[in-house]
Amino acid sequence: MPVMRDFFQGLESCGDQFKVLSEFLKTHFEFVPGLPAMPNIETVFCYLENRLEAIGHDSEKYAVLLQVRAQLTNFISRRLRYGEERSKLPQLQRLVEVANHRSFVTFNWDVLLEEALEPHGSYYFARQHFVLSGGRGWELGEDVTKGFLLKLHGSINWYTCLQPNCPNRGRTLRHGNASYEPTRWDIDDLGRGCDVCGQDLERALVPPIAGKRGRMPVGVLRQWTLAREALEKADEWVIIGYSMPQLDMEAESLFRACRKSSTGETPSVLIVDLDPEPVRDRFHTFLGASAEIKTMRSLDEYLEAEEGRAQQ
């Protein structure tokens, strides 16, 4: 997940826009604006989701926690759209070129990869819309290892209704078309209401929490089904910048389930990370000690190798 350090930096300068979120952080995480010991975004999000699950829909506190969640996901969107992560866009554009229409499976909430994919938008986004709206990959008559962008933790430009008794609850909608300019969806874009209950839609984001599949919007859950199919069919996994956090047991279960490809072979794995050894060791625990797992320490190193191979 990008921008982990000092994620809530600048929250205090946003005025009343995030007042409820700020009070929640002060109460539950002793958040003091400006001090270096800021709470971790994943910890906050997981704690909030567990509170929502435990408190029950009929509690008065539930509505308050939904407001906290709306402000938290709004702040996540602002942080990811305008933060330092945007400097990675040129690398992602190079990655898209060397990928040659291969499928991407990502746990990130941001839309940088969508921006990088824009020249290939009709190839990827039509499939994404099809899956979110209820279709399945095999109905497209395509190899799921090609042309799919699968976002297993949702996206800051996907929306869902969270009202307990709404028939629309859990449906996933994607806002916008193939254009992903950072200014297209601003902090105030949640004014659109659910077309059934009229309540504001909220961003369809999923934290790395145990048991999260039971809480996912339907469109996000479909991403996991297709990701398993894609991983099982692939003969190579390239894992870029994903640390496989201990907290995310669902992700580990996904990789464990796909450790044998559809041909019965263990896929080759390439770990691209600043500190790849711990990630490599975790993959060895469920792929087996004999699994072929290579490592690289930077995305540039991987891109240069792939670009060189393409020129041969």
Nearest to 108 by CA among 160, 153, 41, 175: 153
Quick one: pLDDT at residue 35?
63
Quick one: pLDDT at residue 236?
92
Query: Is pLDDT at 185 greater than 90 in this prediction?
Result: no
**Strand partners of residue 202:** 160
Question: Among 76-90, 108-122, 177-191, 262-276, whose mean pLDDT is lowest?
Answer: 177-191
Task: Provide mean pLDDT across the span 213-232.
Answer: 87
Quick one: pLDDT at residue 132?
79
Quick one: pLDDT at residue 190?
46
Q: Cα–Cα distance between 27 and 4 in angstroms, integer?
A: 21
Quick one: pLDDT at residue 1?
42
Q: How confident is the model at residue 157 (pLDDT cuts 50, 70, 90)?
A: confident
Query: Is pLDDT at 129 greater than 80 in this prediction?
Result: no
Quick one: pLDDT at residue 21?
94
Task: Provide mean pLDDT across the span 124-137.
Answer: 73
Query: Is pLDDT at 228 greater than 60 in this prediction?
Result: yes
Question: Among 12-16, 25-29, 62-66, 95-99, whose mean pLDDT is lowest?
Answer: 12-16
Task: Provide mean pLDDT across the span 48-73.
Answer: 89
Task: Provide mean pLDDT across the span 214-238.
Answer: 88
Query: Is pLDDT at 175 greater than 80 in this prediction?
Result: no
The structural domains of the chain, with segments of one domain joined by +, span: 235-312
Quick one: pLDDT at residue 51?
92
Mean pLDDT of the chain: 83
Q: How confident is the model at residue 198 (pLDDT cuts 50, 70, 90)?
A: confident
Query: Is pLDDT at 172 greater than 50 in this prediction?
Result: yes
The four Cα atoms 33, 38, 41, 42 give a dihedral, to 10 degrees, of -150
Q: How confident is the model at residue 5 (pLDDT cuts 50, 70, 90)?
A: low
Query: Is pLDDT at 245 greater than 90 in this prediction?
Result: no
Quick one: pLDDT at residue 27?
92
Task: Provide mean pLDDT across the span 142-160.
Answer: 87
Task: Provide mean pLDDT across the span 167-186.
Answer: 55
User: Of 9-23, 64-78, 199-213, which one has max mean pLDDT?
Assistant: 64-78
Is residue 220 within 8 A of residue 250, CB to CB? The reply is: no
